[in-house]
Amino acid sequence: MAAKVKLTRPELKRYRDALVRFQRYLPMLKLKQQQLQISLRQVDQQRKEAARDIKAAAEKFNGYRQILADPAGIDVAALARPQEIRTSTLNIAGVNVPVFEDVIFTRPTYTLFATPAWVDRALLDLREVNRAKARMEIVDRQYQLLQKELTKITQRVNLFEKVKIPEAREIIRVIRIKLGDEMTAAVGRAKIAKSKLSESEVFGGMDDKPNHQEPQTV
């Protein structure tokens, strides 16, 4: 029970009102918790897909690693590095999360005719690797934000369900017992007072009766 609870009628009303709020708010928290759990499962599936895309793109690019030792004066890695990662924002169960849209790369500046044919292909494949990694980073960020919110909502659900509601119910029960005992005691005192008042009226009335005596005859 909460410390220093006053066992009074105003306190009883306060905890009754609080219990109503808790019971009204708890279903909304549970609904949000459910939505976040569903969204997390979906995002986790996207993470797995992104991981597969990274692996597939990396395996495709691995064939060029040997010949990249002779870059022909072209920094393929720099050209494949994302210049900008474009995202939008989506609200999921009250949480704003980033959504991957696309990756913008630097425009190649080398001359096609003076460049080995494999450079174009290697550049495209390495960009695909970096695009998949960029998507993975955004999806990971989504997961972290949703997981953080789910943890917070789960804590609130547990607080309401296991602490606040049981505590309010117990305090209401104790206050009602105390007020009931006080009412019973008050009724008892009133009955005793009424009984004493009745006795006082009866015996007091007897003392007030005139004493009629017959005159003595001489």
pTM for the whole structure: 0.75
Does the pLDDT value for residue 218 go beyond 50? no
Tokens read off for 4: 């220093």
pLDDT tens-digit readout, 32-90: 999 999 999 999 999 999 999 999 988 888 877 666 655 556 777 888 889 999 999 99
What is the CB neighbour count within 10 angstroms for residue 121? Answer: 14
Pairwise CA distance, residues 184 & 178, whole Å: 10
The pLDDT of residue 165: 96
Give dist(CA 70, CA 21) in Å, integer: 71
Of 24, 26, 21, 7, the closest CA to residue 172 belongs to 7
Cβ count within 10 A of residue 103:
19
Which amino acid type is present at position 34?
A: Q
Residue spans of the domains in the chain: they are: 9-171
The answer to whether the beta carbons of residues 142 and 97 sit under 8 Å apart is yes
Mean pLDDT of 132-152: 96
Distance from C-alpha of 102 to C-alpha of 41, rounded to nearest angstrom: 23
Amino acid letter at 118?
A: W
> Which CATH number does 9-171 carry?
1.10.287.3240
